[in-house]
Amino acid sequence: MRISIAMATYNGEKYIGEQLKSLVDQIHHPTELVVGDDGSTDETIKILEEFKTRAPFPVYIHRNEFNLGYARNFLVTAKRCTGDWIAFCDQDDVWLPNKLSETAKAIESAADACMVLQNAFLCDSALKLRETKFPRSLDTGIHGRGKQYGFWVWPGFLKTVSKDMIDLYLDEPLPKSWYPKEMELTHDKWTCVIANALGGITILGTPVCLYRRHEATVTGNYDRKSISERVAKSRGVTGDDYAFLAEVAVECANYMKNLAMRTDKPTWKSAFNDNAQEFYHLSEIQELRGKLYLAERFRERLNEFVKIMIKGGYVGQPFYAMGIRSALKDGLRVVVGPRI
């Protein structure tokens, strides 16, 4: 099983040594380690070059001409890999010895797999456990196309994807991210969107990584929010936020139509075209939700709520059904109005 590791680095001297050692300790050694460095000014490159001289597998180090940002750096680095499968690797975690071996078993047992997802132990900077597992909610097994919500994501460092899927990525603008702080889909979101369109997603339940959260991390710390904090966050959502999501869904739909024209695989062409229509449907639901939250009259809010229900916005197709909690939240908005 040819599995490459794609690692994105940037000023990672503090923790990268532990991560590199954990790669050597893998039961199933990788075909190669391909590193994309995004302009480190510390000892990161020196540590990598020294590791390259003693690693039991090939190590290729690429220094980007200009800073790409972590997400695009991951995708560009993955494109350089030669393995049939590519595992994303952060510079500051520690992989448990079974990570790649569990991945290889999952790939061998699922002929149509395009992505393997795993979970980890959430840790602090000293690798002291903070949680039993991360992500907290796991739906293990094999998932077909369109079985995840349209706007979904799984952490990139727990993800191994097929090279065929990565080859779809071109150095071009991507759709906007549904996280407004991000300019475009990040590598973890892009791969989830593509895999959800194609199907063949395997989720495993055995923890395979120590996920280190520290002061310099560029992603969240995943602290549990209190009920009051969650309510406050919910109250801060406006109709404009849902209108933004409607725009994102349209961009994703158009992107899928372009992928359908680009691929020469008939099954993928059909899958991408179908997924485009699902994103258009999701956009309609988000647009209705935006109108609901902007409407000042009760009858108008109720009308939009009923339309969302009819379109399966709460219960139905997993790709665009938001669930009972969203129905309750929107129902409360209908009754109380813009005051909440």
- Per-residue pLDDT of 32-88, as tens digits, reads 999 999 999 999 999 999 999 999 999 999 999 999 999 999 999 999 999 999 999
- Domain range holding 244? 227-336
**Interval 260-280 mean pLDDT:** 97
**Residue 320 placed within a domain:** yes
- Of the two residues 130 and 108, the one the predictor is more confident about is 108
Answer yes or no: is pLDDT of 219 > 80.
no
My answer on whether 246 and 184 are in the same domain is no
Residue 284 within any structural domain of the chain: yes
Co-location of 88 and 115 in the same domain = yes
* Token duo for residue 235: 């109250």
Lowest mean pLDDT, pick from 95-109, 128-142, 228-242: 228-242
Neighbours of 45 (CB within 10 A): 16
In a domain, 220, yes or no: no
Q: Is 107 inside a domain boundary?
A: yes
202 plus 232 within the same structural domain: no
Query: Other C-beta atoms within 10 Å of 46: how many?
Result: 11
Name the percent of the chain lying above pLDDT 70: 93
The last residue of a domain, from among 212, 238, 264? 212
Question: What is the predicted pLDDT for the residue at 230?
Answer: 52
Distance CA 190, CA 187 (A): 5
Number of domains in the chain: 2
Closest residue by Cα to residue 319 from 195, 206, 202: 195
pLDDT surpassing 90 at residue 151: yes
107 in Cβ contact with 23 (< 8 Å)? no
Average model confidence (pLDDT) for the chain?
Answer: 93
Nearest Cα to 128, choosing from 205, 208, 207, 211?
211
Q: Is 63 helix (H, G, I), strand (E, B) or coil?
A: strand
Per-residue tokens: 21: 């050692």
Q: Check whether residue 201 and residue 70 sit in a common domain.
A: yes
Residue 224's pLDDT is 55
